[in-house]
A and B are shown apart, each in its own frame.
Chain A
Amino acid sequence: MKIIRWLVIVVYFSVAVMPLAWLAITSFKLKEDTISPTAKFIPVASKIESPDGSDTSVLFTASTDAYRRLGAVNIGSDYSFFHYLANSLIIGALSALSAVGLGTACAYGFSRFRIAGAKDWLFFILSTRFLPPLAVVVPVFMMYRQFNLQNTHVGLILLYTSFNLSLSVWLMKGFIDDIPRAYEDAALVDGYSRLQAFWRIIVPHAATGMAVTAVFCLISALNEYGFAMALNSSRAVTVPVYFAGLQGNISGVPWPQVAAGALVFVVPVAVFTVLVRKHLLRGVTFGTIKQ
C-alpha cells in the first residue's frame, strides 16, 4: 500500500513539475537548441559538434544568454521584458491590494451586521463570477475608450479589482466569520469604537486570510490575458500579452528568452504560494473548517 502511495505521488509530481522543469531547461538553451528536432535536456559546458552536421544528441550547451538578453528590447516591442514585468507586478499588486481592502471591509459588514437580503447580496456578488469574462470584453472596451482608460495601468487595476472583488468578499467573509465576536465586544467595552476595534482586533486576526486572498487575487491578475490584450497596445502591456506578442516576431520566437522571462515571472509566486500553502487550503474551503 505504502509503495503504491509513493508511486502515485512520484508520478503525479513528475507530471506536474514537467512543464516547469522544461521551462527552466529551455531558459538555459541557445535558440537553435530549442527548435532542434531532438529534445535536448542534458546541459553541458560546451557541446562537441557532430562531424556530419546532423544533430541527434540530447546534450545542449548551457548558457545564461537568455537571461542577459531579457534587458534588451526585442524587435516589434517598445520596451524590454522588465518594463512589462514591472507593469504586471504593479497592476497585480495594486489590484490585489484594493480587492483585499475593499473585500475585507465588505465581508466585515456582511459578517457582523444584519443586512437586509444579505444572502441575496452575497449571491449577487458571487454571481459576477458566473459570467464568462469574454462576454463583457466589447462593452468594457467601449467604456474604456470613452474614459480614456485604454493603455493605462489604472484601467487594468480597476478591472482586476472588480473581477477579484467577489472572490475576496467570499474568502474574507469565511475568515472573519471564524473570528469570535467576543474579541470585538471586549474591545468595545474596553473603550474603542467599532472602527478602532476593526483595525486593532479584526485586521490582525484576519491578516493571514488577507494574505491568502491577496495571493489568489495576485495570481489571477498576473495570469489574465484577454482583457490585458484587448485594452492595451503598448505602455501598460503585461507579461502574458508581451510573450504572446513575440509569436509574430520577424526573427522567430526567442524561446530561451520567453522561458527565462516566464520563469522569473512564475518563481516568486510559486515560492510564496508554497510558503502560505497551509492557509491557502483554509482559504479554498471558504472558512468552513472550525477549530
Chain B
Amino acid sequence: MSFLQLQQLKKTFADGTEAVKGVDLSIDEGEFIVLLGPSGCGKTTTLRMVAGLEAPSDGRVIIAGQDVTRLRPAQRDVGFVFQFYALYPHMTVEQNIAFTLESTGAARRECRERVADVSRVMGLGALLRRYPRQLSGGDQQRVALARAVVRRPKVYLMDEPLGTLDADKRLEMREFIRSRQQEMKVTTIYVTHDQEEAMSLADRVVVMHEGMICQAGPPTEVYDDPASLFVARFVGSPGMNFIPGSVVADDGQRFFVPHQSQARMPLGRDVRPGPVTLGVRPEYVYPSSDGPIAGSVVMDEYQGNFRSIHIDTGFAHNLVMRAGDADARAVGESIRLSFNAEHTRFFDGNTGQRL
C-alpha cells in the first residue's frame, strides 16, 4: 500500500470557491512528487490540506496507513516549507530550527546536537546566532528547509519554496533540495508553477488545473505524452505548438488536414477521423520547402545555444520552431514548415483530451 494517499480530496471555501474538486493521489515512500499548475489551480490548497492547515470539505488524507484527515497539523508529523519562509522573526536561526524540537519535549542537549547536525548538512553553521532579517533570501530558505527536516518528519511539504529567489540562487537551491531529498529518502510533495523546476526535481509530476489532476507521471511522460491540451501547453518552454484541423480517412489511410488548408499529412497510424488539434513540440518542427504549413517569421528569439523562431501561420497561436543558434531568420521571411508524424500528438478537437 502506498505511503501517502489522498482520496477524493475536496475543498470548497466559504465564499463558494471550489479550490480542489476531488483529488486522488497515491504516493510511494521516498517519492518526490511535484504538484505543478498555474496559480489558482488548487495545488497549494491541496498541500495545505495534507499538512492539516486547511480542513478538507470532503475526502481523506492517509499518511503511513493512518487516516489523519481530522488530526491537527501537530499530530501529523509533517515538515512544511513556506513560500515566504515564515521564519519566526523574533528568534535566531538556532531557535527557529530548535522550536519544533522543543514541541516534542526533546532534551536541551539533544536539541543542540540535532540542530548542529542539520546546520552542518544545510551549511548554516556560521549563521546560527543571526536573526532571519540579517540573512539573504537563499540563506533564509536554507533555514526554512532545516527547520522542516530537523524533526525528521514522515513527509516534507514545500510550497513554492524557491519562488522568491533570484534565478541563479534558484538553480543552486534546486540542486541542493534534490540531493538532500535523495540522501534522506523522505516522501516529498513540492508545489510549483515553474514547469522547469518541476521537471528537474520530480520523480513524478502531477499537473493540476482548475482543482483537478490532469495528469500524473514521470517528467518524461508528462512532456512526451501529455494527456490533454492543457498539459501540453503548460509543460515545456515554450509549450507545444497546436494546429487545429481534422483527421480524414481516405483509402484506408489516415490524413491530417489543417484548417483552411489543402495540405494532407499522412499520419501512418490510426487516429479516429473528426476534428482534432495536432500538437508538436518546437524542437520537432523544421523548415522544409515542400512542408504542409506556410507562414512568415514574426520573431526570432536568440537564446544562447538555440533560437525560438515564432511563425505566423494564420492560426490562433503563432507556431514556434526551435532552430540552431546560427540559424537566424529575418522578420517577415516566408517559410514552409514540416514535422515528422511520429512526433505529433493528437487531441480531441472538442474536449482537448489526448487521442
Interface residues of A (CB under 8 A from B): 114, 180, 182-183, 185-193, 196, 201, 204-205
The A interface, classified by DSSP as helix, strand, loop or mixed, is: helix
Segment of B79-87, B245-253, B264-272 engaged in the interface with chain A: B79-87
* Beta-carbon contacts under 8 Å, B73-101 to A: 73-74, 78-80, 82-84, 86-90, 99-100
| Contact among A180, A182, A189, A192 for B51, CB-based, below 8 A | A189
26 residue pairs A–B, Cβ–Cβ below 8 Å: A180-B86, A182-B82, A182-B84, A182-B86, A183-B89, A185-B73, A185-B80, A186-B80, A186-B86, A186-B87, A186-B88, A187-B99, A188-B53, A189-B78, A189-B79, A190-B74, A190-B99, A190-B100, A190-B103, A190-B147, A191-B103, A192-B103, A193-B74, A196-B103, A205-B89, A205-B90
**Closest residue on chain B to residue A182 by CB atoms:** B86
| Contact among B52, B87, B151 for A188, CB-based, below 8 A | B52
Q: How far is the CA of A201 from the CA of B100 in the complex (A)?
A: 13
Q: How far is the CA of A18 from the CA of B103 in the complex (A)?
A: 56
Q: Given A180-B86, A183-B88, A201-B88, is A192 in contact with B74 using a C-beta cutoff of 8 Å?
A: yes
Residues of B within 8 A of A189 (CB): 51-53, 73-74, 78-80, 100
Q: How far is the CA of A204 from the CA of B78 in the complex (A)?
A: 25
Q: How many A-B residue pairs have CB under 8 A?
A: 58
Cβ of B104 under 8 Å from chain A: yes
Interface residues of B (CB under 8 A from A): 14, 51-53, 72-74, 78-80, 82-84, 86-90, 99-100, 103-104, 147, 151
Q: How far is the CA of A190 from the CA of B88 in the complex (A)?
A: 12
Q: How far is the CA of A186 from the CA of B104 in the complex (A)?
A: 15
Q: How far is the CA of A186 from the CA of B83 in the complex (A)?
A: 11
Q: How far is the CA of A193 from the CA of B72 in the complex (A)?
A: 8
Most-contacted residue by chain B among A190, A192, A201 (CB, 10 A): A190
**Closest residue on chain B to residue A190 by CB atoms:** B100
Residues of A within 8 A of B82 (CB): 182, 185-186
Residues of A within 8 A of B74 (CB): 188-193
Residues of B within 8 A of A192 (CB): 74, 103
Residues of B within 8 A of A190 (CB): 74, 99-100, 103, 147, 151
Q: How far is the CA of A204 from the CA of B88 in the complex (A)?
A: 10
Q: How far is the CA of A185 from the CA of B89 in the complex (A)?
A: 14
Q: How far is the CA of A183 from the CA of B84 in the complex (A)?
A: 10
A83 to chain B, nearest CB (A): 41
* Interface contact A185-B90, CB-CB below 8 Å: no
Residues of B within 8 A of A187 (CB): 88, 99
Residues of A within 8 A of B53 (CB): 185, 188-189
A202 to chain B, nearest CB (A): 11
* Interface contact A185-B147, CB-CB below 8 Å: no
* Interface contact B14-A114, CB-CB below 8 Å: yes
Residues of B within 8 A of A186 (CB): 80, 82, 86-88, 147
Residues of B within 8 A of A180 (CB): 84, 86
Residues of A within 8 A of B14 (CB): 114
* Interface contact A191-B151, CB-CB below 8 Å: yes
**Closest residue on chain A to residue B157 by CB atoms:** A189
B61 to chain A, nearest CB (A): 14
A211 to chain B, nearest CB (A): 15
**Closest residue on chain A to residue B144 by CB atoms:** A186
B276 to chain A, nearest CB (A): 46
Closest 10 CB pairs between A and B? A191-B103, A182-B86, A190-B100, A189-B80, A188-B73, A186-B86, A191-B74, A189-B73, A204-B90, A182-B82
B74 to chain A, nearest CB (A): 5
Q: How far is the CA of A189 from the CA of B73 in the complex (A)?
A: 5
B338 to chain A, nearest CB (A): 52
Q: How far is the CA of A192 from the CA of B99 in the complex (A)?
A: 10
Q: Given A190-B147, A191-B151, A192-B74, is A185 in contact with B99 using a C-beta cutoff of 8 Å?
A: no
